[in-house]
Amino acid sequence: MELISFVMLVMCVLLGLPIVWLLYMSRSPKEMEGIPGSLGWPIVGESFSFISDFSSPSGIFNFMNTRQQRFGKVFKSFVLGRFTVFMTGREASKILLTGKDGLVSLNLFYTGQQVLGPTSLLQTSGEAHKRLRRLIAEPLSVDGLKKYFHFINTQAKETLNQWSGRKVLALEEASTFTLKVIGHMIMSLEPTGEEQEKFRSNFKIISSSFASLPFKIPGTAFHRGIQARDRMYAMLDSTISRRRSGEDFQQDFLESLIMKHTKGAADKEDSENKLTDKQLKDNILTLLVAGHDTTTAALTWLMKFLEENPTVLEQLREEHMQIIANRKDGTDLTWSEVNNMPYTAKVISETLRRATILPWFSRKASQDFELDGFRVKKGWSLNLDVVSIHHDPEVFPDPYKFDPSRFDALLKPFSFLGFGSGPRMCPGMNLAKIEICVFIHHLVIRYKWKPLEKDDSVQPTLVRMPKNKYPIMVEPL
């Protein structure tokens, strides 16, 4: 369906024939006639409104909320080349995220599918997904992350050492920190140098291409993303070649995958665990994307919310000052301390709730089922609106207030989706928490900061980030 949609879309643009699109629109699923909503303008549907609303202060919630008020909790639209049904609520969350009885599968937009590749963890399902997730889970487990703790701690301190008494773009600094961490963990990339700069440059282009219109035409964000992806894969090919020839050996995630891929045993179990080079590269890129953008955004929003809520900041600072007071003189932050920051954990959760960094989760119906009185048909694209779930006043009273105490007690299931839920819950959750805890520890015990601009707009990307990159003036305490 999506491939046909794009072919027709390109024909309309090239031939200037809206009638072509109108004819195609008549071929949209007849079953959708029972779903309220609008498919928008010829050719582009509601894509421009969808992308534009990313940049509004409330982000994609503006797109969702105006249509929910008009059509209800379930509505249809046509965005980025796809007929889509948007849903919200805890019941929809439960069905779409658990994938119970194989009702749904993951469903990236076409641009994401093309950039990440068909063998990415984010595009596989069933046994293939379980196998890839097992390979990824080990180095990202709490125990697997211990060996990277010193590097994470060192990079956080070195990043913050440069902040005193100067203007800082918090988003850029957080991005540099998280990319150095994930690059080191995955492929032992040095934190500075020409290789790191090429890596960062290509990665930024890839990251910005995910919410672009699906036109692979020179000069478009999508085309630039594909080109940057190919350059990134060339870098990986070179690294993999050196590793296999014995020129370079590192105890990192890439090395473990290469060893798994090149085992000589021919038994069935070993064969099933092997990865092709394509699978290896697709999933390295997937981990880089998943391990960078969301944590970068979380760190930036956390700094913004802390500055806007001085009482919360003071209580957080007290927790971290107490950690220092309990240490022996001259010792640094330890692994056990990072795993014992109860108030910090609540602040992180509240940040993820308020910011809702991933504003929706996209799925595809694998079979017919019913939800909220509507009949969902196999093959439909389904988007779960997470912003509305995180701001439901019945679950979170005064939902726009930043209040970490909400997490003093257990919440209702599927009401908080900061790291997703179900079999596709974020595999990098432990890494993200450790990075944030380490960074915030060194930040709050050393500095105070003030924003240089008052702008709540967000970038037009799939991961919600402040559009102005949150410029701040930093001073020592």
Annotated binding-site residue numbers for heme: 426
Report how far apart the first and last C-alpha atoms of the chain are (Å, whole number): 58
On whether the CB atoms of residues 462 and 358 are closer than 8 A, the answer is yes
Q: How far is 409 from 448, CA to CA, in rounded Å?
A: 30
- Which residue pairs, CB below 8 angstroms and at least 24 apart, start in 321-326? 321/445, 323/441, 324/445
Q: Residue 459: what residue type?
A: Q
Q: How far is 421 from 230, CA to CA, in rounded Å?
A: 32
On whether the CB atoms of residues 170 and 178 are closer than 8 A, the answer is no
Q: What's the DSSP call for residue 359? A: -
**Region of 17 on the Ramachandran plot (φ > 0 left; ψ -120 to 50 alpha; else beta):** beta
Continuous H helices in 162-246: 170-187, 194-207, 221-245
- Count the Cβ atoms, other than its own, within 10 Å of residue 381: 21
Q: Residue 204: what residue type?
A: K
Q: How far is 132 from 119, CA to CA, in rounded Å?
A: 10
Strands (E), 285-367: 360-365
- Count the Cβ atoms, other than its own, within 10 Å of residue 283: 24
Annotated binding site: 426
**Alpha carbon distances (Å) from 286 to 231, 321, 412, 421, 427:** 15, 37, 31, 18, 11
